[in-house]
Amino acid sequence: MPSSKNLVAGVIGVQGDVSEHMGAISRLGTQHNLSIDTFAIRQIGIIPKCDFLTIPGGESTTISRLIDDTGMSSEIITHATSGKPLLVTCAGLIVASSNANDSRVKTLNLLDVSINRNAFGRQIDSLETHLSIVGLNDPFPAVFIRAPAVDSVSKNVEILAEHEGKPVAIRQDNIIGTSFHPELTSDLRIHDLAFFGTTISDSKA
Ligand code: GLN
């Protein structure tokens, strides 16, 4: 069980790049000189204990079905609507959106955005580019893999970065969403921004 003095981070662990996010959070804790207990979450009951939550990249139709089947969807919604930090990456962004334009994805309606899945090409067309991101001093090495694009945003949503004229990093209150995979690089600044609201690690990990 998490001890009360440590921060608790959860990564929704039903599918996708779960261990990569857990590794990034662990390194972020070290950088902040904080103990963060990190859990891969596959069942209800743990999310309410979490200070930070992540929905990783993977396959949005699968993640959507499994969080719905397990009952975790409503716990994720409660976490986010209570104002606690939530980071959603790639498939996680699709799941957290208000419209995935795909009936197989039961969206959580946490981000007022409409998504075009696989907008930046198929798996084979993955790419890495350096993005300017609001709040970060230097460009961020962004890895895109079958990445979704944000097609439209409501005025509550702040666009933090664009690629090919489409938003690929957004913030709505306590939620940050990216089309790319910050957990696949050693750069911790997106996790830092999402969980601590700072860029203490702007010098890169
Ligand atoms: N295109 C995938 C989907 O629709 C997401 C890809 C990813 O998370 N790398 O779920």
Query: Per residue of the chain (205 residues), what is the pLDDT tens digit?
Result: 444 468 999 999 999 999 999 999 999 999 999 999 999 999 999 999 999 999 999 999 999 999 999 999 999 999 999 999 999 999 999 999 999 999 999 999 999 999 998 777 665 578 899 999 999 999 999 999 999 989 989 999 999 999 989 999 999 999 999 999 999 999 999 999 999 987 655 544 4
The rounded Å distance from CA 26 to ligand 1 centre is 24
Distance 145 CA to ligand 1 centre (A): 7
59 lines ligand 1 (CB under 6 A): yes
Q: What is the pLDDT of residue 123?
A: 55
CB 192 within 8 A of CB 201: yes
pLDDT score at 205: 44
CA of 148 to the centre of ligand 1 (A): 7
Task: Tell me, yes or no, if 181 is annotated catalytic.
Answer: yes
Q: How many CB atoms lie within 10 A of CB 35?
A: 12
Cβ of residue 170 lying under 6 Å from some atom of ligand 1:
no
Instruction: Look at residue 5 in the predicted model and tell me its pLDDT.
Output: 67
pLDDT single digits (tens) 155-184:
999 999 999 899 999 999 999 999 999 999
Report the half-sphere exposure of 19 (CA within 13 A, side-chain side): 0
62 lines ligand 1 (CB under 6 A): no
Q: CB 31: neighbour CB atoms within 10 A? A: 16
Nearest atom, ligand 1, residue 16 CA: 8
Residue 118 is predicted with a pLDDT of: 78
Q: How far apart are CA 182 and CA 20, in angstroms?
A: 9
- How far apart CA 37 and CA 33 sit, in angstroms, is 13
**All structural domains of the chain with their residue ranges:** 6-196
Q: Is 85 in the pocket of ligand 1 (CB under 6 A)?
A: no
- How far is 10 from 56, CA to CA, in rounded Å? 11
Domain 6-196 CATH class label: alpha beta
